């Protein structure tokens, strides 16, 4: 009898140990990933993780200017809509990325010519058509992406060159087109770049003083295991002090930032990465709940990362899931952090 009871207890124990726990069940804020529609369609493991592990979705590329507005008189929302369909079918929030950027701009825009009014009309039309198309589907937008250089000056781009005050105007136009959307300014690498950080804070103050709608700051968080915690903490603190919603919008933690071709993803590199992820999650937990828009990973598995594709760094392992889409050990460390949550 005793043995049967013991057996039963062990069995129950195993069942409960065997049950998967998800980050999304344990943290009170959304946990997202940027997604690629081709991988969703072609790779079952990718689709499975995308479906089960996240409750927020960003299109990694397919809502950007070049993708949705390939010709002056033609919008193409097919791929962006695929992401929306996937997110809706799996009850996920959708975050829009991005309305105005200096990268991934279609050729016709870079070659556009006209006076300031014509440029304004062109950008306004782009922003409003895209925002209207996804209205009611996206919760928020990265309205302007990466407008400042590291020294805090305005980045030279076709937008800063041709449209005076383009940042404020872009927020205003986005708001007119989708008054319910939470509007973000999104940027990277503020840690260790106090002038860039200050430029962003100045922008927020200026827009608020002019009653231009800005509701959130996206901190991309493309960081690495050597990123300094004090610098990250200072960026998070200063951003949070604005009172705006805070989104860690493109999180990944590189382990081989110098792209060493002999790099091995050893246990100690994994440990350093785990510690940095814990630091990031703990820092996010310390942000007041009403400002927590969520944490978004920049794609799902290591092999999907832009660091491998776009940056051509084959020995990089920056994400939560390994090459076979297995959870890395750091996943359970993050789950443990959630103990005091939800």
Catalytic residues: 146, 250
Residue 311 corresponds to which tokens in the numbers above?
Answer: 């940056």
Contact assessment for residue 86 and residue 49, using Cβ atoms and an 8 Å cutoff: no
> Closer to ligand 9MR at the Cβ: 192 or 271?
192
According to CB under 6 A, which one of 14, 21, 104, 332 is a site residue for ligand 9MR? 104
d(CA 249, CA 63): 15
* Minimum CB distance to ligand 9MR smaller for 104 or for 266: 104
Give phi and psi for 324, each to the nearest 5: -105, 15
Decide if residue 312 touches ligand 9MR (CB under 6 A): no
Q: Rounded to an integer, what distance in angstroms lies between the CA atom of residue 339 and that of residue 332?
A: 11
Is residue 306 at the binding interface for ligand 9MR, with CB under 6 A as the rule? yes
CA-to-CA dists, residue 38 to 60, 183, 290, 315, 326, angstroms: 11, 28, 35, 23, 20
Taking the C-alpha atoms of residue 2 and residue 10, their distance in angstroms, rounded to an integer, is 12
Site for ligand 9MR in 246-265 (CB under 6 A): 250
Q: How far apart are CA 203 and CA 226, in angstroms?
A: 29
Least distance (Å) between residue 95 CB and ligand 9MR? 12
Using the minimum distance from each CB to ligand 9MR, give the nearer residue, 251 or 337. Answer: 251
Per rule CB under 6 A, is residue 81 in the interface with ligand 9MR? no
Of 3, 11, 91, 310, the one binding ligand 9MR (CB under 6 A) is 310
The binder of ligand 9MR chosen from 24, 56, 137, 220 (CB under 6 A): 220
Instruction: Confirm or reject binding of residue 283 to ligand 9MR (CB under 6 A).
Output: no
Nearer to ligand 9MR, 31 or 219 (CB): 219
Of 88, 103, 121, 153, the one binding ligand 9MR by CB under 6 A: 103
Residues near ligand 9MR (CB under 6 A), total:
11
- Contact yes or no for 133/75 (Cβ under 8 A): yes
Give min distance, CB of 17 to ligand 9MR, in A: 36
- Considering only CA atoms, which of 224, 203, 225 is closest in space to residue 214? 203
Q: Which residues contact 57 (CB under 8 A, 6 or more apart)?
A: 32, 33, 34, 35, 50, 83, 86, 87, 92, 93, 94, 95
The binding track of 178-217 with respect to ligand 9MR, each residue x by CB under 6 A or -, is ----------x-----------------------------
Strand partners, 252: 222
- Which residues contribute to the site for ligand 9MR (CB under 6 A)? 60-61, 103-104, 145, 188, 220, 250, 306, 309-310
């Amino acid at each position: 009898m005793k043995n049967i009871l013991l057996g039963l207890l062990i069995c129950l124990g195993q069942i409960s140990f065997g049950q998967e726990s998800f980050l999304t069940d344990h943290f009170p804020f959304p946990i997202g990933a940027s997604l690629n529609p081709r991988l969703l369609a072609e790779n079952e493991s990718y689709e499975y993780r995308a479906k089960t592990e996240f409750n927020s979705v960003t299109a990694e590329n397919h809502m950007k200017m070049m993708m949705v507005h390939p010709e002056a008189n033609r919008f193409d929302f097919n791929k962006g809509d695929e992401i929306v369909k996937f997110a809706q079918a799996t009850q996920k929030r959708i975050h829009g990325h991005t309305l105005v950027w200096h990268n991934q701009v279609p050729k016709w825009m870079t070659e556009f010519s006209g006076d300031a009014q014509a440029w304004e009309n062109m950008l306004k039309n782009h922003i409003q058509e895209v925002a209207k198309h996804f209205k009611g589907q996206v919760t928020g937008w990265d309205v302007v992406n990466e407008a400042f250089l590291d020294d805090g000056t305005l980045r030279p781009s076709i937008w800063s060159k041709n449209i005076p005050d383009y940042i404020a105007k872009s927020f205003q136009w986005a708001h007119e087109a989708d008054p319910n959307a939470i509007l973000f300014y999104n940027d990277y690498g503020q840690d260790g770049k106090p002038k860039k950080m200050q430029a962003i804070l100045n922008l927020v103050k200026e827009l608020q003083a002019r009653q231009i709608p800005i509701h959130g700051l996206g901190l991309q968080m493309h960081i690495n295991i050597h990123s300094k915690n004090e610098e990250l903490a200072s960026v998070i603190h200063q951003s949070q002090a604005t009172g705006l919603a805070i989104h860690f919008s493109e999180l990944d933690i590189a382990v081989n930032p110098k792209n060493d071709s002999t790099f091995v993803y050893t246990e100690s590199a994994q440990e350093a990465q785990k510690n940095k992820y814990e630091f990031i999650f703990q820092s996010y937990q310390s942000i007041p709940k009403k400002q927590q828009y969520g944490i978004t990973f920049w794609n799902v598995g290591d092999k999907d990362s832009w660091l491998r594709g776009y940056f051509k760094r084959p020995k990089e392992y920056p994400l939560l899931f390994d090459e076979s889409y297995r959870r890395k050990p750091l996943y359970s460390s993050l789950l443990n952090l959630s103990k005091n949550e939800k």
